[in-house]
Structure 1
Amino acid sequence: MPSRTERPSLQPRAVMISVAVLLAAGFGLTLLIFYPGVMTYDAKFVYEDIAKGTMGDWQSPVMVWLWGVIDPIAPGPGSMFLLIATTYWAGFGMLSLALASRGKTVALLLPLLAMTPPALAFAGIIWRDVLLATCWLLAATVAFAVSERQSPIRPAGQGLALVLLISGVLLRPNALLAAPILAAYIVWLSRVSLRRTAILYVPAMIGLFGTVQLAYYGMLDAKRQHPLQTIMIFDLGGISHFAKQNQFPVAWSESESAMLLNGCYQPTMWDIYWRLKPCDFVMRKVERETGLFGTPAIPSAWLTAVLHHPVAYLQHRSAFMWNFLAADNLGMWTADVEHPMERVYADRAAFNALVAAHDAIKPTPFLRAGFWLLACIVICGWSWRRSGPREASFALAVCGSATVYVASFYALGVASDFRYGYWAVLAAIAGGIVASSGEARTNEPEG
């Protein structure tokens, strides 16, 4: 029997072994359920660009380049799925092992929560939103793992974390608003400081914006396809609906005008004006008949509409945000993009079991972006007042960045799928467990 003094040293080892078993089981389960991954239409367009040898900025050209590099590993969706699954489990794994190494039994909850439907149901679906979330999770956990290490491990870990952070921004440039919060944590690690974060915020955002421009249009020579104007088209449609006045820089027929002002608008997605009948006449005229899409005419019309009808703009944006946060939106992708009337992996028992679990909780708050946004806000408040400095810094970084990221969709969102809030799911799970593992704060956090 071990002596009384030996028992504390055995506890971390036992917890780490248990965590390692759970992580291996989770990774294996992910492969069993999803391999070679679920291709979505967005992913299909990206993969087709690899074959064409062309890149545009509608989808991320960095994802096109990256997928082309790793594609020989498992041609088709397999390589990208393996990247997502590996970063997913590496993120949860490094974090749970870091906690387990200090004997924190709460570490056992991380791999278990990673296997629950709100998180796992998306870990095998090829969306850049998912890869963004897994890259940022891994970035934060690498930083957490090296936060008490000495040189050269600590700066090397910080460097890797920054690369992963930048990779997420290159996948989704709308993450620019949230990235500086995570960057501040990576740079300063266990020091909670609103002042330092505020000082870093604008320079970091400018630097990351410059990195996107350099990568997209310098290194990769991506074709400009004007994705920002999709936001403006959606806003022009929304403002037209609530103001009951046409805000587009084109003239409509009487029947088209009636549809635009009364029948077309839904606070769900901009696709209503692009490809969904009967309101696809909007983009048909704006893009193909008049050629105005991609020209300064759209930003000019948008700015005029917002300035002249600010209440209508806020009504439209508030309606969209409420739908995004609280409605029963698209969750787990199950359609076969090659045979749209069929479900992918219909004969795979493990996949069907996860679909059933996902569908069972779909009506609940657990598949509402608003629930995870609220969870992140609560965790930030709890961490700021109650958790130890190392744990609080991590929780505030991941949950703070997730809060800003989800909130940014108020102005930037053009669709309300649950996947757009996926970073908040991973952040709340990771941040909540880490915050609960820390000792109670003994003095006030640094301001």
Structure 2
Amino acid sequence: MAPGSSENLTVGGGSPVRLAIAASLLCCVALAVWWPGVVEYDSVEQYKQVLSGIYLDWHPPAMARLWAVLHPLGPGATPMFVVQFVLYWLGLGLLAAALARSGRVRAGVAVLAIGALPLFVGWQAAVLKDTQMLGAIVAATGLVGWWRLADRRVPIIAMAVAAALLVYAMLVRANAVFAVVPLVVMLAPWSMRLWQRGLALVAGILMVLAVSPPINHGLLGADETKVTRTLPIFDLAGIAHFSGGADVLLPAERALIEQRHCYQPYFWDPLGDDDHCGSIARRLELIPPRALTTLWLGSIARHPIAYARHRLAHLNSTDRLLVPMGRPDAAPPRRSEPNGIGLGSPGPVASAIAWFGGWLVETPLGWPIAWIVVAAVGLCVALARPRSPARDLALALAVSGLMLEASFAVVSIASDLRYHLWPMMAAVMATILLAGERRPSRRALVLGGAALALIVAAGVTARISLPRSPTSYQGMLG
């Protein structure tokens, strides 16, 4: 399973071999349990593009194009399901084996145990752009970590494979740039000061954002939709809701939003739904892009307090801090979206495990805000330690997860838990790397534990005191 030699793999009494075999077995078991994979609404729409040969940019064309290439290998979602599970367990297996090779067997076991947690493995069974992204980044991390944790230079071939995986991750999820570029910059082998890495990080993000549309529309041949307008529409509705500003939306539109409760920090969807406030979205979609951007940025500049309240309300919702029990789009899906194009569902064992994953999401294990605290503590611990292979990889993972979470403060439009899978996984991998190398300082444990306890107390209080949330998408639409 690992790309190193058998001699290197067996150092440490065979523990790396055993963990590599364990990862392979876990992968096989997961494939068998969740076969032929789970599809949600987005997956169904992308598969329709595969069948029709007509690609749109509302969903990442890179994923649909790869699906079309792999489609002859198997029916429905099966090829993509296999790809993302194999990448996921390959990355975790490489990282676990690398830790065991360095004598940290328990840390390696912890990596596999977290990977098998129903919350994570249940979501990884769903064929989605988020899980494709997670599989690609985890595989790249494991590939690089195999050599870096041994304090060895990554071979050119392995580096090329890791780079291809990370490029795919950025193409398959628009906001993955905020995770991938920080990961690459922090792992860059050449010596740079912190401010230089910061400049490289910003420049890399801007460059990727600039080249992504030509790749999607030109190289991948996707027709342009109105997907880029969802964020301005969501922000304009939020600003109008919190400010009541007459210069943001038309008076009739503001009244309609309030009457039909179309503005929800949870997601933008009621604004694009014909039965709610779709007429507002249709009008704004007819505005030329430059004029819409001017209206959007101008409204932010004129109503910064209302904009901040809107973004903070959404950030609270997507990070699942002060929210009621039962918020939808958090539990791993138990069955596939109904469809007439041959996309099936896994059996009862998978459904039972997904149910347990749904129970876990109501605990702090399923709250992105809790993992943000863990990642922030890990970042502080890593910065305080001298450089080492494990410390450097942990630092890169913490920065990657936190940067992606930070991006949700300004670019997110929905509160699905699947958007946070990589930050959550990055946080736990960074913690395992740091704890496996050396026990954290008492100060870090006390301060980090206090911060986490405060977050958990606030979250539990909210879930007890707030009215229970609608448990379905239609219920959230109202």
Q: Return the offset for 1:150.
A: 5.7
Q: For 1:323, which of 317, 331, 345 is the aligned residue?
A: 317
Aligned counterparts of 2:295 and 2:335: Cα–Cα separation in 1: 37
- What does 1:3-402 align with in structure 2 at a 5 Å threshold? 12-105=12-105, 106-147=107-148, 148=150, 154-188=155-189, 193-246=193-246, 250=250, 252=252, 257-261=254-258, 263-275=261-273, 277-287=275-285, 291-292=286-287, 295-326=289-320, 327=323, 328-331=327-330, 332-338=332-338, 345=345, 348-386=347-385, 389-402=388-401
- Deviation (angstroms), 1:222: 2.2
| 3-state secondary structure, aligned to 2:155 | helix
Match of 2:422 in 1: 423
CA contact (8 A) 2:379 2:399 kept: yes
Contact 2:334 2:355 survives alignment (8 Å): no
Secondary structure at the counterpart of residue 296 of structure 1? helix
Change over 3 Å in CA distance of 1:244–1:350 after alignment to 2 = same
Counterparts of 2:272 and 2:335 in 1: how far apart (Å)?
A: 21
Paired residue type of 2:265: P
Aligned equivalents of 2:353, 2:328: Cα separation in 1: 18
Shift of 1:436: 1.8
Q: Which stretch of the first structure deviates more once superposed, 177-186 or 164-173?
A: 177-186
Q: Distance in 1 between matches of 2:30 and 2:192?
A: 35
CA contact (8 A) 1:55 1:61 kept: yes
Q: Using the alignment, how far apart are the partners of 2:282 and 2:203 within structure 1?
A: 40
CA separation of 1:344 and 1:156: change in aligned 2, threshold 3 A:
closer
- Distance (Å, rounded) in 2 between the aligned partners of 1:11 and 1:178: 33
Shift of 1:431: 1.6
- Taking the aligned partners of 2:192 and 2:142, their CA distance within structure 1 comes to 16
**Counterpart residue identity of residue 370, structure 2:** F
Distance (Å, rounded) in 2 between the aligned partners of 1:333 and 1:88 = 18
Cα-to-partner distance string for 1:193-235 (whole Å, 9 max, x where unaligned): 5244224223322442344234213312322223221000001
Shift of 1:154: 2.2
Indicate conservation of the 8 Å contact 2:376/2:402, yes or no: yes
Percent of aligned positions that are identical: 24
**Residue number in structure 1 paired with 2:437:** 438
* CA deviation profile, 1:143-193 (whole Å, cap 9, x unmatched): 121224767x5232222222222211111222223332111244318x785
- What is the alpha-carbon distance in structure 2 between the residues aligned to residue 369 and residue 377 of structure 1? 12
> Which amino acid is the alignment partner of residue 255 of structure 2?
A
236-245 vs 385-394, which deviates more?
Answer: 385-394
- State the AA in 2 paired with 1:30: A
1:418-447 CA-partner distances (Å, limit 9, x unpaired)? 011111122122222122222579xxxxxx
Aligned residues of 1:388 and 1:438 also touching (Cα < 8 A): no
Distance of 1:134 and 1:119 partners within structure 2: 11
SS at match of 1:39: coil
Q: Does the 8 A contact of 2:371 with 2:423 survive in 1?
A: yes
Q: Distance in 1 between matches of 2:52 and 2:38?
A: 22
Deviations 1:355-395 (A, max 9, x none): 22112223211111111222211111222224752111111
Instruction: Report the counterpart of residue 445 of structure 1 in structure 2.
Output: none
- Can you give the 5+ residue segments of structure 2 that lack an aligned partner in the other structure? 1-8, 441-478
- 1:269-312 alpha-carbon deviations (Å, 9 max, x no partner): 1111112633333224444xxx33x6433222212211111111
Note the alpha carbon deviations across 1:38-68, whole angstroms, 9 max, x for none.
Answer: 1111111111112222222211111111111
Do 1:168 and 1:175's aligned partners in 2 also have CA atoms closer than 8 Å?
Answer: yes
Root mean square deviation of aligned Cα: 2.7
- Over 3 Å counting, the alpha-carbon distance change for 1:149 and 1:383 in structure 2 is closer
Q: CA deviation at 1:260?
A: 1.6
TM-score normalized by the length of structure 2: 0.81
Shift in Å, 1:79: 0.6
Q: 1:60 to 1:247 in 2, by over 3 A?
A: farther
Letter in 2 for 1:34: W
How far apart, in 2, do the equivalents of 1:271 and 1:195 lie?
39
- Unmatched tracts of structure 1, length 5 or more: 1-8, 442-447
Q: Do the aligned partners of 1:388 and 1:440 also contact (CA within 8 Å) in 2?
A: no
Alpha-carbon distance between aligned partners in 2 of 1:366 and 1:319, rounded to the nearest angstrom: 21
TM-score by structure 1 length? 0.86
From the superposition, tell whether residues 143 and 11 of structure 1 become closer, same or farther in structure 2 (CA, over 3 Å).
Answer: closer
Q: Measured at CA, do residues 246 and 59 of structure 1 come closer, stay the same or move farther in structure 2, by a change above 3 Å? A: farther
Cα deviation 1:4-47 (Å, max 9, x = unaligned): xxxxx987233224313421331122112211111111111111
